[in-house]
Amino acid sequence: MSTRMLVAPVPQSSGHPAAEVAHRDLISIQDLLPEEVRALLDLTALIKARPADFRGALSGKQVVMFFEKPSLRTRLTFEAGLSSLGGQAIFVDQTRSRLDERESLSDIARNLERWVDCVILRTFEHSTITGIAEHASIPVINALSDLEHPCQALADFFTLEEKFDDIAKVTLAYVGDGNNMSHSLMLLAASLGAKIRVATPKGYEPLAEVVAAAKKIAAKTGAKITITNDPVAAVTGADAIYTDVWASMGQEEEAQQRAQIFEPFQVDEELMSHAADHALFMHCLPAHRGDEVTDAVIDSPQSVVFDQAENRLHIQKAILLMLLGGGLRRFRPRSTNA
């Protein structure tokens, strides 16, 4: 596998979107061309509607999951999803030590490629994932790193498409920390031609390199990327409001300081009132109730946080099918010649 940079090069497509993704990595949203993102979302819709059609599609496939961080949704949806496709997931708990503590990433990768069909990694450092991908000849999936959370973002935009149908007409407002979640949401909005406004406190904006990459994609798709320090400006008229924890895993020592800085960015009923009347509330979970979001918002009829969580299962089944090449003959993507 090729070495990964902070901002990945755009892959070149030469054929059927679903077939082209087979045997590649999913480390960043940038690993997928816009038409491949479209094909993945269409496949997800088919899997969700007709799960029985895909039973046994990955029979005999084995996937190993190394998690340096605790997980509920990511672990269970990958395990349940792969099991329903006929494959087997092997979980390795790395929460007490980093993956490369005992031996080099290159040695680990060269072992894994001889035993299993795919590696799923949930790590602190993005370089851990790129290090495995550089040396492994099998697909590597980013199940969360400090740079991106692509599987979650894909489930989120699938959820938005279920609710609004035409994603190109949707304006998503992200309010909070310019973290891995904001990065993947920006890149995915750019690929799908959507509009996203990211509002953070000064000094907590998304990485400039990722913003530049998203805007480069947006220039081709018609998407609009806006970065601001004003949460009200971001949410005004928006179709969906998204937030995440103010202090991610590994930032616990900053939690008290961040709570003071981020307080004006709390998603409460007053902030939601500036959005469109039909606006949805979104969160990748787990939520710190009373910090980034109030109970009144996350428990309201506008909240789709559990729809997002459910769709992690369906999107990850589609990711596994596309990367491992199983069951694609069942899939007919919608035309990309719009």
DSSP states along 138-174: S-EEES--SS--HHHHHHHHHHHHHHHS-GGG-EEEE
Choose, from 284, 302, 308, 316, the residue flagged as catalytic.
Answer: 284
The total of other beta-carbon atoms located within 10 Å of residue 72's CB is 10
Choose, from 38, 135, 149, 283, the residue flagged as catalytic.
Answer: 149
Alpha-carbon distance of 286 to 297, in angstroms, equals 15
Alpha-carbon distance of 278 to 179, in angstroms, equals 27
Q: Is 152 an annotated catalytic residue?
A: yes
| In contact, 164 and 170? CB cutoff 8 Å | yes
Rg (CA), the chain: 19
Q: Position 309: which residue type?
A: A
Alpha-carbon distance of 195 to 142, in angstroms, equals 24
Count of residues making up the chain:
338
User: Given CA atoms 300, 318, 94, 178 in this order, what sign does their dihedral have?
Assistant: negative
Choose, from 4, 38, 73, 122, the residue flagged as catalytic.
Answer: 122
Q: Is 122 an annotated catalytic residue?
A: yes
| In contact, 33 and 13? CB cutoff 8 Å | yes
DSSP states along 273-303: TTS-TT-EEEE-S---BTTTB-HHHHTSTTB
Q: Is 151 an annotated catalytic residue?
A: no
Q: Is 244 an annotated catalytic residue?
A: yes
Alpha-carbon distance of 285 to 268, in angstroms, equals 16
Choose, from 38, 258, 312, 314, the residue flagged as catalytic.
Answer: 312
Alpha-carbon distance of 12 to 240, in angstroms, equals 32
Q: Is 98 an annotated catalytic residue?
A: no
Choose, from 4, 100, 118, 152, the residue flagged as catalytic.
Answer: 152
Q: Is 332 an annotated catalytic residue?
A: no
Within 8 A by CB and 6+ apart from 5, the residues are none
Cα–Cα nearest to 325, from 84, 34, 20: 20
Choose, from 239, 244, 266, 291, the residue flagged as catalytic.
Answer: 244
Which helix (H) or strand (E) is 241 found in, with range?
Answer: strand 240-243
The set of catalytic residues is 122, 149, 152, 244, 284, 312
